[in-house]
Amino acid sequence: MADQSIPKARTPATAPAQTEAAPADEGISRRRLLGTAGATGLVLGTAGAAVGYAAAPTEAAAPLTSLGADRAMFHGKHQPGITDGLQARGHLVAFDLAAGGGRREAAALLRRWSETARRLMAGEPSAHDDTDVARDAGPSSLTITFGFGHSFFGRTGLEKQRPTALDPLPEFSSDHLDRKRSNGDLWVQIGANDALVAFHALRAIQKDAGSAARVRWQMNGFNRSPGATAHSMTARNLMGQIDGTRNPKPSEPDFDQRIFVPETGEPAWMANGSYAVVRRIRMLLDDWEKLSVKAQEDVIGRRKSDGAALSGGTETTPMDLEKTDAKGNLVVPINAHARITRPDQNGGAAMLRRPFSFHDGIDPDGVPDAGLLFVCWQADPLRGFVPVQRKLDRGDALSQFIRHESSGLFAVPGGAAEGEYVGQKLLEG
């Protein structure tokens, strides 16, 4: 849970080309339009609210009831679901190719999946046997993202095309990994601002897999609903902490360099792609909630109320790592999570975090099975995730309140051009 934030969303006037609003008559029912007229007092900047992060007060307002019209584009330089804002609902699912399946079967599957993703993200039904779960909704900012695991390349005879950046992650002392809920040949990330739209996409992807691949593991997550706060702000996690203040932003000159594989990078099929580290992190909430607010803030290094560093200022004020109190003690403890994860304390290592919270019920002993579905993006995990996690392993105060229970690393190729499917350059190259 690194101390970084996803870039704030932009209004449709300034949003990147891969995001657009669906036409007014597409996906918004008469009933929903009537509801919009009575929605005074529930208006926020739609794009900014969808992210849940700090947004400029001048952003155009839009009623909550119009959020279903927001649409992300399937085709583009990068796959959707990486730089898009946080969505209210998410599903992560990994598949293993069926025994005997190979490159040809994988190509046919990715072709089916890509067409389904394109249709659903446009607010259209899937091509075959649509379940009608999302019939009354618009696109609702749906994104579907596809990636390849380390084992995929051996299964398809493409070992020579496997990136060195996809080498298995090292073991960390805080790991308590369930191998059955880790890794996988293929990985799919689904996110939307409507739970039924997200489930509809999950079901369609699973049905499309048919006999070509079977589900290895699947996890469900959520974030705060768009419009739930009086203004756009950085999200909070299940510990109640503002989580994600220092994420790299697209406006930074080296953003693409740190998050995406360059067009001239190796292997060539990964141009404009990225690498996703996926971790299921259980939060030991009963232990955490026994701490005083002051103790919790010392663990994180930031105020719980507004996310400001303990050294003072606002959420975005740079942290003063040398500031001391009247007794000469560091105001931001030496083992505070926010101190350890700062990029300038890790040789500039950076990753774009885009997580979901999860709650999978309550154990028989009354302990909630809840935490963070950690998803981070980087051009090279050996220079992004790994050095930061190694440092956290050596003394992060937060470590005693969390447990890493599953892990995966996936190569996510660049976006598909019109008429192409995701991974086509790998599978047909």
- Say which amino acid occupies 391: K
Whether residue 381 has pLDDT greater than 70: yes
User: What integer pLDDT is reported at residue 3 of this predicted model?
Assistant: 53
Contact between 41 and 65 under an 8 Å Cβ cutoff? The reply is no
pLDDT tens for residues 187-232?
Answer: 999 999 999 999 999 999 999 999 999 999 999 999 999 888 888 8
The rounded mean pLDDT for the chain is 87
What's the rounded Cα separation, in Å, for the pair 57 and 48?
A: 10
From 84, 243, 380, 396, active-site residue: 243
Report whether 242 contacts 235 (CB < 8 A).
yes
Sorted by sequence, the CB contacts under 8 Å of residue 337 that are 6+ apart come out as: 1, 3, 299, 300, 301, 392, 396, 397, 398
Q: List, for residues 364-376, the tens digit of each pLDDT value.
A: 999 999 999 999 9
The pLDDT of residue 57 is above 50: no
CA distance 162 to 153: 6
The whole-angstrom separation of Cα 223 and Cα 8 is 15
Check whether 308 has a pLDDT greater than 60.
yes
Check if the beta carbon of residue 144 is closer than 8 Å to that of residue 117: yes
CA dihedral sign of residues 222, 227, 228, 230: positive
Residue 63 has a pLDDT of 55
pLDDT at 311: 97
Strands 213-222 and 89-97: antiparallel
H or E segment and range at residue 208: helix 195-209
Is the pLDDT at 289 greater than 50, yes or no?
yes
Q: Give the residue with greater pLDDT, 129 vs 36.
A: 129
209 vs 95, 199, 296, 324, CA distance in Å? 9, 15, 44, 57
Q: Determine whether 243 is an active site residue.
A: yes
- Which pLDDT tens digit goes with each residue over 96-154? 999 999 999 999 999 999 999 999 999 999 998 999 999 999 999 999 999 999 999 99
Grade residue 244 by pLDDT with cuts at 50, 70 and 90.
Answer: confident
Q: Which residue has the higher pLDDT, 32 or 226?
A: 226
**pLDDT tens across 389-427, in order?**
999 999 999 999 999 999 999 999 999 999 999 999 999
- Locate tokens 């000159």: which residue? 253
| pLDDT at residue 36 greater than cutoff 50 | no
Other beta carbons within 10 Å of 254:
10
Q: What is the model's pTM?
A: 0.86
Distances (CA, A) of 312 to 87, 241, 358: 30, 16, 31
CA distances from 144 to 82, 122, 189, 290 (A): 10, 11, 6, 39
Which of 384, 358, 389 lies closest to 373, judged by CA?
358
